[in-house]
Every structure is written in structure tokens, then in C-alpha cells.
Structure 1
Amino acid sequence: MSAIRFEPTKQYYATTSLVIGYALCSSLLAVINKFAITKFNYPGLLTALQYITSAVGVWVLGKFGFLHHDPFKFDIANKFLPAAVVFYLAIFTNTNLLRHANVDTFIVFRSLTPLLVALADTIFRRQPCPSKLTFMSLLIILGGAVGYVATDSAFTLTAYSWAFAYLVTITTEMVYIKHMVMNLGLNTWGFVLYNNLLSLMMAPIFWVLTGEYNEVFAALVANGGNWFEPVAFTAVSFYWVFDLRLVSETCKLDL
């Protein structure tokens, strides 16, 4: 009987520690992202660095046997591409939201995603409806978000346009990627590899479309070829470290 009691207790504490770790990394990453985009004001290049960090990190750890990921295959990549496009847009709008708004606004809009994902899962994926208490809690969060928007002294049309774009793309990404992962049978680390590697391949297209490559080259010329100022290098370094840590915590939760 003691062994039977021990296992659920052990699982409970393991899950709790992972949730706390994820929440801590996610919260800190929002602040670090804001710091990074403020000191290194190139959202396309900054997100590309994120994709490189995650993809290379998974590939290297896989080579050394610390994790197992599905091998990269072009036929699977072709099927996964629509999900990667949505993922890229979610990260792109996320970074631009932080570029134009404060962290509080980002957190408020991010807090609305559970409600939208729950509704989308029920409508499009035929998942069970949330319980009454859960749905009521999500509506309370919605009410708080509406109150925040109504009283936000830092309201700007640009910031809130990016906020709504982020809300649409992140909700779509969460629901659609669930569908893709289940259909393609990728393991968690394989999903991370495909998502980030395909997003990295798309990055140059957005650099050209947004004209950011001109800004980067102009900054390089102005700084005598130096990529980073010391403060910007520190901000981006923290961004890399906490992005890898957040990926790790997220994958553990999924597993």
C-alpha cells in the first residue's frame, strides 16, 4: 500500500516542479524578450537566433544521446510546413508586440489564449467542453483583460494591432500544431526540431519583406562591422539561455 501511495505522490511533485519551472522560465522570458528587443531592435534577426539556438541545441543533444528526436525527412517537412508557417507568425507577432508594447500588455493578451484554445478545441477538434468552474475562471480572466485594455494609459493603435495579431496566430498555432503532431506522429523533440528548422528557413523571406535586412546592414556599417554592443550581446545571450530552458520545460510537460 505504501508503494501505491508513493508513486502518485512522486508523480504529483514531479509535475508540480515542472509546472513551476515552466511558469518561471516563461515569465522571465517575457521580460528578457522585452529587454532583448529593446537593446537589439531587429525582430526578424532576433527570432532567427531563437530558431538557431533551439534547432542546433536539439540536434547536438541528440548526437550525444541526451535525447531522441525524429530524423529530418523532406516528405514529413513538406506536410509540417503549414504548421511551421503559423508557428513563425506567432513568434514574429509576439516579438513585434513586445517591441511596441510593455510586458504587462503582452501578459494580458497571453492570458486570453487558454479560453480561445479551449473554445477552438471544442469547435474544430471536437474536444470535450471545459467544466463549468474552469470556464467561469477563464471568463474572469477575460473580464480582467477587458478592464486592463479599457484603462491602459499606454494604449497605442500599433501596439494593440500587434496584440490582436499575436492573439489570433498563437491560438491558431496551439490548436493547429496539436492536430499536426497527432497526425504526423512526431515525438516532442522531433516537433521542436522541425518547427525551428523550418522557421529558420523562412526567416530570410521575412527579412526581405519587412526591409529589416537594410536596417541590419546599415547598423553594421555605422558600428564599423560590430554585430553587438556589449549590452545587446548580454540581452541576446540571456534570450538564448532562457529560450532553451523554456523549450526543455515545455517538452518535459508534454512528455
Structure 2
Amino acid sequence: MPAGQDSEASGAAATKGGAGAADAEAAPPHAPLLAYYPTPQAHSGFVRGLFNRTAGSYDRINAAFALGSGPWYRRRALRRAGLRPGARLLDVAIGTGLVAREAAAILGDTRGMVGLDLSEGMLAEARRSLGLPLVQARAEALPFPDASFDFVSMGYALRHVVDLGQLFAGYRRVLRPGGRLLLLEIAPPESRLGQGLLKAYLGGAVPLLSRLAGSGSATLMRYYWDTIAACVPPPEILRQLEKAGLSEVRCDTDIGIMRAYSARRPPA
């Protein structure tokens, strides 16, 4: 597929192979947040619509939401997880390209990169600054052959999927033997004081400021906080990664809340 060309793939794409197959017990990242969508089945449609409405303002509100984790943090996390020049990389939930741009800086260009997102609005924003193939699909239904990539990245979107087991099994499937995975996320701090301060900032101040950024931005940031607060704890994410057949599973923590989960598909 030539750089910059988009393709759309249905949610029925194959997820065969590897541990943690799709017919196993579901492992949602959090309980349904029915204040935002009427039924659990409506979750993916809600997420797609929310990001479509806020794509044009996402980079502006991200500056307030990032908590100091700017380009330097994403680039450091990618290097620490093992991204090196020459790797073929899939960036899942590419959004506006915040992680992909740092990956391109490490790789030297975008020729070995592919971006994927559920939101066509986000893909349109990514297309403005990145010349790489873009695919519209669900993260749990990756439309790529087995063993297609050396590295898979996902930035701050783990909380928006439906099933962690299906997601991680798909990542293992598309990684080549020895390939590596990086998941960037946010988790509440352990102390009650820290949790209260983070809730006041992300659940109150940021949504208020985001009203100035555009339609739906305040809802997006409220939803962000609610998914962070409701998300399964880091040990469960690590357990699901191991259950999917990934090895060298670890979680690096920065400033108490920034989590970088990394893993590897075992060599053949």
C-alpha cells in the first residue's frame, strides 16, 4: 500500500492464532460507563463518534492533558521498549499521530510504518502531518497477516477497547517472533491525596478548559477521567499480556501515574 493511502477494514477481520483467542472469556478494561452510552454494545460507536467530533481540537487539549508527558516522554518510552531503525511498526489508535511522529523520528522515516484508528476524523488529522498508510479498523480486529510487524505501539487508548484479551492476542498474532509491544497509559496514583488531586485536575479543571477548544472536548476529557478511574489496575493488564502468550512483560512508571507497558512475542 503506498504511503498516505487509506483503507477501511471491517471489525470482522481475522484474529486467529496465539493464546487468548476471541472466544475466551471477555476481559473489558473497565465496566460499561452507561452515563455515556445506553448499552455495552453501543460503546464502540460512542467512542468513534466522540473522537470524530474532537479530532480537530485534540492536539490543543492534549497540551493540558499531557501532564508533562510530551514528545520527549513518548520517544524515550519507544526507545526503552526496543524500537530501533529498520523496524516495521504498527501504531494502533494513531489519533492525530502524537506517538507515530516520535516513532518516525527514531526510525528515520515513515516507510516502514502503518497507522490504524477507529475514527475517520482522527485519521484525517494524522494524514495532515504523516505520510504513511492509514487503516480504519477496530484495535481488536487487526486486518493484517500474521507476523507482519516488528513493533506495535498504542498510546493512551487501552481504556477505549472492548476486550483486553482479544486485543493482546491480536497484537501477539501480528508481531513477528521476537517483536515488541509498547502500551502507553495513565493509572491513578496509589495515595488518596494523589487520586484526589488527579481527579480535580483531569475530572474538573481540564474539562472546563477544554470547553474553549471545540465541540465535544469537555465530554472527551470527562470520559477520559472516568475511564482512568474505572480501568482495571496495572497488575491485571500485565496478567492479560502474559495470558495472551507475550513474554518479558513489564510496566515502567513515571511521575506516579504515567505507565508504559512493554512485552515481547517470544522468539520462534
- Comparing both structures, which one devotes a greater share of its residues to helix? 1
TM over 0.5: no
With the length of structure 2 as denominator, give the TM-score of the two structures. Answer: 0.29
With the length of structure 1 as denominator, give the TM-score of the two structures. Answer: 0.30
Structure with greater contact order relative to length (CA < 8 Å, sep ≥ 6): 1
- Comparing both structures, which one devotes a greater share of its residues to strand? 2
Larger radius of gyration: 1
